[in-house]
Amino acid sequence: MKILITGATGLIGSEITKQLLEQKIPVHYLTTSSAKIKSNPMSMGFLWNPAKTEIDLRAFEGVTHIINLAGVTIAAPWTKAYKHEILQSRISSIQTLKKGIEALSSHTISHFVGASAIGVYPSHLERLYTVHDQIDPDVSDSFLRQTVVAWESANLEMKELNIPVAQLRVGLVMDDKKGALAEFVKPIKMFVGASFGSGKQWQSWVHIADIAAMFIFLCKQHCEGVFNGVAPNPITQKELVVQLAKQLKKPLWLPNIPQFLMKLVLGQMSDLLFESQKVAAKSMISQGYVFKYEGIEAALASFTSLK
């Protein structure tokens, strides 16, 4: 087993790489920066440029599985140009991988696992979503859903090469050093923490250790289809803020922050703070995945920076 990872230096990719190397599973990774190539017998880096559909074909040598995480962060101002980049960076990465595989005379790739996101589900304060819910093809009301629908469609193009495809819809990833959790923590540490809007928005979270392990699990089990990358116990945003304040031993005294104010500050990107997706984890559980962190208290307690 040898796994090729795109986005290997990102939040999830770096944890996947760490876990694979701990399990003595060799890794190939793709990067756009030669400075990030630090190859050793177990972890070898290769250059690519998805914007130009260019890739070092040596990256595929001996590879049995591909984990595709490539794509620019959505946590940046959503200008018209950047929204195009959010979508195009995800589509072009898959197209570049596909073009590279097609250029090979033969290959050993037997499985493709593509990242997706729970943002594909419409925002709702009550509904519990499963992978069996049909996604309305009319996603014109939401840039996030437009992006994820196109992303998943691109992932499925790997089937044209007779490579089985699994897709993992990633939830709110809990990591104390990077990502969304760190942004929730900052104001609480400064005694200005508060929920956004009603605070009733569902946060379908997942611990960084679990989401990385899920990608590896899907590879090892050769799973096909769509899966939700979330913990079994989603919580409301208000509950998350309260649990963080409790863990940090900080008071919460400010009223909830209204949506119009965040719209003025962040523009359309503020949608991320007010979306509500209550998402079920049973698609992974039914495959036999065992969670390390099922509840938010244990997840937050695992982070040393919150103590």
| Per-residue pLDDT tens over the stretch 160-208 | 999 999 999 999 999 988 878 888 888 899 998 899 889 999 999 999 9
Residue-level pLDDT at 139: 64
Q: Let me know: does 7 contact 17? Beta carbons within 8 Å.
A: no
Summarize pLDDT for 35-45 with one digit per residue, the tens.
888 878 899 99
**Does residue 72 or residue 101 have the better pLDDT?**
101
Least confident of 14-23, 43-52, 177-186, 218-227: 177-186
Average per-residue pLDDT for the chain: 93
Grouping H, G, I as helix, E, B as strand and the rest as coil, residue 125 is: coil
Of 122, 210, 208, 120, the C-alpha closest to 167 is 120
Q: Mean pLDDT, to the nearest integer, of 6-23? A: 96
Q: What is the pTM of this model?
A: 0.95
Q: Which CATH architecture has domain 3-173+205-231+277-292?
A: 3-Layer(aba) Sandwich (3.40)
Whether the pLDDT of residue 137 is over 70: the answer is no
Determine how many CB atoms are found less than 10 A away from the CB of residue 2: 18
Predicted pLDDT of residue 41? 84
pLDDT at 208: 97
| Joined tokens for residue 208 | 């960084």
Give the residue among 3, 120, 99 at the shortest CA–CA distance from 48.
99
User: What is the mean pLDDT of the segment spanning 140-163?
Assistant: 91
pLDDT given at position 306: 79
Place of tokens 């990385």: 212
CB 31 within 8 A of CB 8: yes
- Please give the full DSSP string across the chain, using - where no structure is assigned: --EEEESTTSHHHHHHHHHHHHTT--EEEEES-GGG---BTTEEEEEEEGGGTEE-GGGGTT--EEEE-----SSS---HHHHHHHHHHHHHHHHHHHHHHHTSS-----EEEEEEEGGGSPP-SSPEE-TTSPPPS--TT-HHHHHHHHHHHHHGGGGGGT--EEEEEE-EEE-SSSSHHHHHHHHHHTT----BTTS--EE-EEEHHHHHHHHHHHHHTT--EEEEE--S--EEHHHHHHHHHHHHT----SPPBPHHHHHHHHGGGGHHHH---EE--HHHHTTT---S--SHHHHHHT-GGG-
Distances (CA, A) of 132 to 72, 135, 148: 28, 9, 16
Q: Of 50, 53, 45, which Cα lies nearest the Cα of 9?
A: 45
67 strand-pairing partners = 5, 113
Whether 43 and 64 have beta carbons less than 8 Å apart is answered as no
Query: At 34, is the pLDDT very low, low, confident or very high (cuts 50, 70, 90)?
Result: confident
Max distance between CA atoms of the chain, in angstroms, equals 64
pLDDT of 144 reads 87
Per residue in 249-300, pLDDT tens? 999 999 888 888 877 777 777 788 889 999 999 999 999 999 999 999 999 9
CA–CA distance, 147 with 215 (Å, rounded to integer): 21
Q: How far apart are CA 173 and CA 209, in angstroms?
A: 9
Q: Taking residues 151-157, report their average pLDDT.
A: 96
pLDDT tens sequence across 74-118:
888 888 999 999 999 999 999 999 999 999 999 999 999 999 999
